[in-house]
Structure 1
Amino acid sequence: MHDYKSKIEIGFHYWGIRVIRYRLAILLMTVVVAGLAAAQLPKLSIATSVESMFTRYDQILTDYQRFRSHFGRDEEIVLLISSSDIFSLEFLTTLKQFHEDLENSLPLLKEVSSLANAPYIGSVDSGLRVGGFLDNLPLTEEEAQQYRQRGLSYPGFQNLYFTPDGKHAIVVIKTQAVSALSADGLRLRGYARGVRGAEKHPPPVAQQSISQVENIAVIGIVEAVIKQYQTPDFSIAFSGTPVYQYHVEPMIRANMKKMCIAILIVSVLFMPLLFGRGSGAVLPPVTVILGLMVALGLMALLSIRFSLTSSMLASTLLSIGLTAPIHFLVVYYKYQKRVGKFRGIIATMKHSGFPITMTSITTVAGLLAFSFSDIAPIADLVNFTIIGLLAILVFTLVTLPALLSILQVVSGAEQGEADYEASIFNRTLLALGRLGVTRPYLVFILFLAGTLVGGFSISQLHFSHNQLHFFTEDSDFMRQVRLIEAQTGGLRALEVLIDTQRERGIVDHELLQAIERLDIHLKSQTDIQGRAYVGRTRSLVDLIKKISCATTGRDQAPCPLPEDDPALAEQFDHISRIVPEALRKYTDADLGLGRLTAMMYWRDAADDVDFIARMREYAAALFDSGVKVVVTGVVSINSGIIHAMMTTLAIGYGMGFVLITALMLFAVGDVRLGLLAMIPNLLPIIIGLGIMGYLDIPLNTYNLIGGSIAIGLAVDDTIHFFHNFRRYYLKSGDINFAVSETLGSAGRALLATTLILVASFWMRLFSDLKVVADFGLVMGITLFVAFLADVLLAPALLRMFYGTGQKDSLKRFDVPRTQSV
């Protein structure tokens, strides 16, 4: 059965010879690859838009793009202007100037909406006058008071242009939905400025969504204009999804840099202590950085942008990528001491080439199942982590030995080895192995009890996708969000499209009544704590009623819909003549599509899942079978992420476990021993998930693949342990001796990788982002438990599996490790 492993080891033996023979060519090729990858790095960018969360052909994204093609971007910048009197002469004059400055300054502008340009239908001697509310500013305070009466009584102005208490004016900025950057990203298209006379529509080709660079430019100009007008009596707060993206992008960028630097510092500080020489501190990070450059370079070449989730790519690779070069160097330094540099490289290749390859492949297998996730950032993170790990494997087995072959043998190595043999690290490993072998049932019961406790806490796990977890409640951004929500009734849009699938299909009295009932239903829904989901709504029905009230001279009293279809058709024709721009906000050119917008409070998307599901059911029963109801918008997309996370978790963990088990059987070379080896890998994952449940850390897009990464890393150490154990057990037939020799040789690599990985993940505790800190805490604990499972539980399981073995062999635990590899 083990003949194939012997052949593979011989193959690695000859591979080591070839690497030494062609070392200069290999190093030259490495420099070329690194240079090509580095040349692509400036192209990397960060995406924070909601549509970047899904793959291009996902139905959720398809529905959202269809909505945007008709009605534009639903992500608005909302400004709330507080004043002692928003209808005073001074305020109205300043508001109009502020409005005009925004219109004249902002690029990519679609429209600015405020009292300054609010559509107002007034009666004049010749009939009706349609224009902006402040087309003609009042000249005196008396005239300003007349404007107050008109504004407060005009239907539809409240909650749209000012708050119901009349103390805050509302300004809404909408930008274009698609990017104005040219294909090469270096130029702006003709419609970029968004001013009169410019090209109004993008070219009829596929366009990218507005980029983060453009969003930063827009928000930066908004801030500059606000700064000019900000006074105690013209106090401006602003927020919205574009503002959120503006604030989050630099936080993600800063966190990436901070974590990468911290992890590199950890590896450079820890490894000299473990290896006893400087090369051990330099070569593993260099190997990992080469693999990281390949992954990032390919990511830039393919125009894949970072998100919060995929931004952990660099820090993750810098952490988990160290395992392969560390295992290689631990064995190489031992052989180097005994047989010299070149023979040491060849012997290391034969001894550890196969387990190093298998450990990398098992880590890849744990991640591979997540590469098909519908959540684009998770798929991107996994795919490029896999590419980075495979690149690190190649550099470990090709570039690292080539580099070692031209380095001089480090003096003092023997003293370093002797120091390790006498160190507390080595003595602790041997003591743990002795405990596992001598007290197997006690160790097994302790681990089983911990697993049962963890399993109980898993029931408390829940999913989450909360965009606001970046901010504390006392941050300036959150204060503005809560203020605007309290006064306006919500910032996030849930869009409902009613598609009649026929021309002039919405000119139907019964259909409009159904939309009105849906509107009322949405505003009546509350969560289990009695909080409303929806703060305010606007729809085609509101527009019809508003125009009806304005043309008949009625005030805020409810105006009914036209009672029959002919009267309704006449009303639509009337609206299309006097305010066609307003009509286009709620329907398409053929009058076959209707729109209802529900503005919802900003909360965790997991809290909206049931509400949206119930709303879909209610809408499906409300409309005829020939009417198609599509629910989309920012809220719907975030809710869809929760469903995608559930699917990804089930498929990813299930498939990952099957793949890793199969690879474990292949690596160990024995079916029963391979299945036994999976036990020390599963228990830490259960305990880790239990810790998340106990600490109320939710599953989100950032930590969803944490269990897969953890089991992949745990399997790495388990493969090295069982590979070496099998080797020594076949030679001696003695469990105690085999465990002792395994911990004396491979144990050093297990300890080194565990300390580096745990320290690297725990460095995330210093992150400014709570989601990153939570992930680091749980991963560090899980990996530490996995290490204990390998050096303590695995020997106990082997003792239980093989029996007592030789009775007098326990003294071998005290044999010096100098002759073992």
Structure 2
Amino acid sequence: MNFWTKVAGLILRNRYLVLVLVAAFTAFLATQMKYMKFSYTEANLLPENHEANIEYNQFLKIFGEEGNLIILAVKDTTLFTPEKFNAWNDLTKEIDASNEVAFSVSIADVQELKADRKNRKFVLEPLLNKTPTTQKEVSAIKKQLFENLPFYDNLLYNKKTGTVQTAIYINKKIVNTPVRRDFVFNTLIPTIKKFEKEHNLQVHVSGMPYIRTLNSQNIQDEILWFVVGALLITAVIFFFFFRSYRATFITLLVVMIGVTWAFGFIGLFGYEITVLTALIPPLIIVIGVPNAIFLINKYQQEVKKHGNQAKSLQRVISKVGNATLMTNITTASGFATFIFVKSELLQQFGVLASINIISIFVLALLIIPIIYSFMPLPKKKHLNHLEKKWIDTIVKWMEKMVRHNRIAIYITAVIFIIFGIIGIYQIRVSGSLIEDMPKGTQFYKDIKFFEKEFGGIMPLEIFIDTKKEKGVMKLSTLKKMEEINEIIESFPELSKPISITNLVKYSKQAYYLGNPKYYQLPTSQEQSYIFAYTKNSNNNSKMLTNFVDSTGRYARITTFMKDVGTDKMTIIQDRLNAVIAKEFPSDKFDVHLTGKALVFLKGTNYLINNLILSLSLAILLIALFMAWMFRSYQMILISLIPNMLPLLITAGLMGFIGIPIKPSTILVFSIAFGISVDDTIHFLAKYRQELQANNWRIKKSVYSALRETGVSMFYTSIVLFFGFLVFTVSSFGGTIALGGLVSVTLLFAMVSNLLLLPSLLLSFEKKITNKKVFKEPSMKIFPPKENKEEEAE
């Protein structure tokens, strides 16, 4: 009695105990779902000890969270009428009154810096001494702001377009917590909507805290749709193939328990729900249904053959269990390679995916035979699908192609290889923070609005360490910073920079009675008496005190980026670093670029390099697995070619239709490879069994294996194709691309495994298939045919 026969007996003899244990573990994992939490920060794709992370953490230690700015803007000439102008200012005051807001900067908060000659100091006087009631007063305020206060240009207004904006600085302590979400949905959005309705003005809202909140909500909303969509579409396809409500119900029960386990494991491990981990539950549905197809299909074949239920159930476990385990192990291995990538985000995805794939296999193997054991035998109508003529026609066509048109198959494969290679050279790399965000949403349109009006919303920081206290306020240091500012302003992809130099230039303008032509850095002669005024002043702008630390050693220059690609960002970095190297010698200064957007861009490049390593590891791992399983190293090449070809075609397709390599799309290759190898294992395992049964007659064995496995491979591939296609209804560009590309890759993989693989086996039969080379497998995938009844199978 072999191992799987013992397993079958153990499961079926203890079916009540097994069901109780499954129910108990499901209940336990269901209780862990309450610990699931959504991510409130951008995905950090770099390891903690990466240089970019170390620099960013140093910046955060000095200046705190930089992504705490929410901006509101209105582009409407009617804003500068008394009623709407005052309502706009009242809106800011209402939002500012919230505990979650640290402070705000709006037109109502504008302070004019003026020189107090008598006391030799600067004083701040509000631009709005009183609430304006006439059009004349509002026009005067607008003129003063737009023409005489360049300090606020691109900060509170766009001089060229007349757009006005308000800066809301969220309390740094709550930026990366659920409190931020509550503030955005319960306070900010309702207040703005009320204002828009009452005053017929469109308010554009953006900033990283706002974008992250709405993006997280979109992920949360889509999980339910993905799960329901995957369940619905796989159920419909399954029923179309099997025409059995009973089989469909059992399959849905298995995958729904699998989804419960998937959510439970997320909570149990304390992982956050991100764009990637949100894919796990629907992924388990899509991968779980093919397990059910193999098991139920085998059960119905056995019932049709001899009508003995106990014997049928025992053979389902003993004969299909090992093959299904092997396919699930290879699939899990493809995902498990992400664990070796030095990115916490992908490590979590790899852990969850691999554990849940093995879990759904265990659930299918336990639940399906046990539930069928309580049910009457399937009726004849439930078995009719085993003799469908259209399926038989497809299998006969495949056999005909392999038998008579192998040269055409090889020529087609070579054409696709050439296509893929040409396409690969056209693939671009993307490291954008917002490229995958839902294009149809208002918050995405607002991002584009702010890019056009104010130069972007993603903060890019230049962190300056002068290595000595009060080093920032030296005129020589300020002039070096101004050189950086001028370079930043030369890039259309970057906004006007904000730093301590803005305040110093404003101080000189104030010293010269507010004349805007003096908005510039002081000369060395002017420095002493202008700085003397500064020392006597105690009321600098709240916002700009954030740009120099309390010791005067550290400074920051903040600019905001548009949604630029990796190539453009590399050019910007190189030019900025060249100026930094020239102006700030490394022996006296420590200066580097940082900020969330830059860390994400660097993370993308780092991730791509690591995922190429991950894919290579997956290929190597599965190749070694194949070699060990079939004990034939010549079989490695034969088994890998049909699975590498679809990856090459997909990569070429990405190049031709302009889908970039990015964190979401790079996953396609590891996922598709891990799943597509399943078909190869099923085919080769059956082929090995047929060789033994047919006394090593190769051609007969190949065609028998094709007929035997072709139907199941076709069924499972169709389920997988439409299952992954569910992801294309996502509003996230990366998820759409992932779903579409995996679907296409698996479709190519099915055709490749059903046409190219048997063709290769026949063409190289003498070299790779003989008793000396193609030995007895280290692990029996299918048991040998035992008797004449089995031969008829």
TM-score by length of 1: 0.86
1:330-357 CA-partner distances (Å, limit 9, x unpaired)? 2233234445333333333332332222
Q: Aligned-pair distance for 1:391?
A: 0.9
1:531-581 CA-partner distances (Å, limit 9, x unpaired): x12121111222222123223424222433352899399559617734274
Q: Out of 416, 424, 430, which is 1:450 matched to?
A: 416
2:257 maps to 1:306: no
**Where does residue 317 of structure 1 map in the other structure?**
284
Q: 2:748 aligns with which of 785, 793, 797?
A: 785
Residue 609 of structure 1 contacts residue 639 of structure 1 at CA under 8 Å; is this kept in 2? Answer: no
> Partner of 1:346: helix, strand, or coil?
helix
Q: Which residue of 2 aligns with 1:116?
A: 108
Encode CA deviations 1:469-501: one digit per residue, 9 max, x unaligned: 466777543443333333323222111111123
For 1:408 and 1:28, how far apart are their aligned partners in 2?
Answer: 22
Paired residues of 1:465 and 1:638 also in contact (CA < 8 A): yes
User: What is the aligned partner in structure 1 of residue 239 from structure 2?
Assistant: 272
SS at match of 1:590: coil
> Where in structure 1 are there 5+ consecutive unaligned residues?
1-8, 180-208, 526-531, 807-815
What is the deviation of 1:388? 0.8
CA distance in 2, matches of 1:533, 1:139: 37
Q: Distance in 2 between matches of 1:404 and 1:366?
A: 32
1:160 and 2:155 matched:
yes
Question: 1:433 and 1:697 mapped to 2: Cα distance?
Answer: 36
Q: Deviations over 1:293-330 (max 9, x none)?
A: 22221212333222223322222221123333322332
State which of 680, 683, 686 in structure 2 corresponds to 1:718: 680
CA distance in 2, matches of 1:578, 1:101: 24
**Residue-pair matches, total:** 766
Describe the shift of the 1:126–1:710 C-alpha distance in structure 2 as closer, same or farther (beyond 3 A).
Answer: same
Match of 1:601 among 562, 569, 580: 562
What SS does the aligned partner of 2:497 have?
A: strand
Question: Does the CA-based 8 Å contact 2:71-2:206 persist in structure 1?
Answer: yes
Contact 2:258–2:285 (8 Å) recurs in 1: no
- Give me the whole-angstrom Cα distance separating, in 2, the residues matched to 1:353 and 1:149: 80
Of 617-626 and 788-797, the range deviating more from structure 2: 617-626
Q: Map 1:724-763 to 2 at 5 A.
A: 724-732=686-694, 733-763=696-726
Structure 1 residue 695, shift from structure 2 partner: 1.7
Question: Do the aligned residues in 2 keep the contact of 1:436 with 1:796 (CA within 8 Å)?
Answer: yes
Q: Residues 85 and 695 of structure 1: is their aligned pair in 2 closer, same or farther, counting only changes over 3 Å?
A: closer
Q: Is 2:499 the partner of 1:539?
A: yes
Distance 1:150 1:670, change over 3 A: same
Give, in whole Å, the separation in 1 of the partners of 2:539 and 2:402: 85
Q: Give me the whole-angstrom Cα distance separating, in 2, the residues matched to 1:302 and 1:126.
A: 66
CA distance in 2, matches of 1:586, 1:817: 83
Of 633-642 and 336-345, the range deviating more from structure 2? 336-345
Change in CA separation of 1:646 and 1:52 when aligned onto 2, cut-off 3 Å: closer
302 and 471 in structure 1: CA distance in 2 versus 1, 3 angstrom threshold: closer
**Offset of residue 443 of structure 1:** 1.8
Equivalent pair of 1:497/1:593 in contact (CA under 8 Å): yes
Aligned pair partner of 2:632 in 670, 673, 691: 670
Corresponding residue for residue 552 of structure 2: 591
Kept after mapping to 2: 8 A contact 1:492/1:635: yes
Q: Secondary structure at the match of 1:74?
A: coil
Residue 103 in structure 1 maps to residue 96 in structure 2:
yes
State how 1:138-157 maps to structure 2 within 5 Å.
Answer: 141=134, 147-148=141-142, 150-151=144-145, 152-157=147-152
Q: What is the alpha-carbon distance in structure 2 between the residues aligned to residue 301 and residue 99 of structure 1?
A: 42
Tell me, yes or no, if structure 1 residue 393 matches structure 2 residue 353: no
Shift of 1:706: 0.9
In the alignment, which of 632, 654, 667 is matched to residue 616 of structure 2?
A: 654
1:225 aligns with 2:191: yes
**Unmatched 5+ stretches in structure 2:** 771-787
Paired position in structure 1 for 2:776:
none
**In 2, Cα distance between equivalents of 1:576 and 1:125:** 12
| 1:334-392, Cα deviation, whole Å (9 max, x unpaired) | 23444533333333333233222221111122122222334444333222111110111
Query: Within 1, Cα distance between the matches of 2:469 and 2:122?
Result: 30
Distance 1:132 1:470 in 2: 45
Matches within 5 A, 1:185-196: none
The offset of 1:734, in angstroms, is 1.7
Partner secondary structure for residue 116 of structure 1: helix
SS in 2 for 1:490: coil
Q: Secondary structure at the match of 1:703?
A: helix
Indicate the larger mover: 373-382 or 83-92.
83-92
1:10-409 equivalences in 2 (<5 Å): 10-47=2-39, 49-51=41-43, 59-75=51-67, 76-84=69-77, 90=83, 93-104=86-97, 106-123=98-115, 126-127=118-119, 128=121, 130-131=123-124, 133-134=126-127, 136-137=129-130, 141=134, 147-148=141-142, 150-151=144-145, 152-165=147-160, 167-179=162-174, 210-212=176-178, 214-230=180-196, 235-338=202-305, 340-409=308-377
Counterpart CA distance in 1 for 2:81 and 2:559 is 31
Aligned-pair CA distance for 1:84? 3.4
Residues 1:802 and 2:770 aligned together: no
Shift in alpha-carbon separation, 1:725–1:575, aligned structure 2, 3 A: farther
Written as runs of structure 1 = structure 2, the 5 A alignment for 1:466-505 is: 466-469=432-435, 476-505=442-471
Tell me how far apart the structure 1 counterparts of residues 99 and 335 of structure 2 sit (CA, whole Å). Answer: 42
String of CA shifts for 1:495-542, please: whole Å, max 9, x gaps.
1111123322323333222211111112223xxxxxx12121111222
Contact 1:710 1:783 in 2 (8 A): yes
Deviation at 1:718, TM superposition (A): 0.4
What percentage of aligned pairs have identical amino acids? 19
Separation in 2, partners of 1:575, 1:404 = 87
Aligned-CA RMSD value:
3.2
CA contact (8 A) 1:605 1:638 kept: no
Pick closer, same or farther for the CA change 1:616–1:407 going to 2, 3 Å. Answer: farther
> Which residue matches 2:784?
none
Change in 2 beyond 3 A, CA 1:254/1:731:
same
> 2:581 corresponds to which letter in structure 1?
A
Residue equivalent to 2:782: none
CA distance in 1, matches of 2:71, 2:708: 63
How far off is 1:604 after superposition?
4.3
SS of the equivalent of 1:704 reads: helix
Contact 1:684 1:783 in 2 (8 A): yes
- In the alignment, is residue 508 of structure 1 matched against residue 474 of structure 2? yes
Deviates more, 1:65-74 or 1:623-632: 65-74
Worse-superposed segment, 336-345 or 725-734: 336-345
Q: What letter corresponds to residue 479 of structure 2 in structure 1?
A: Q
User: How many Å apart are 1:58 and its aligned residue?
Assistant: 5.1
The 3-state SS of whatever aligns with 1:120 is strand
Distance in 1 (alpha carbons) for counterparts of 2:370 and 2:127 = 76
Distance in 2 between the 1:424 and 1:145 partners? Answer: 78
The normalised TM-score by structure 2 is: 0.89
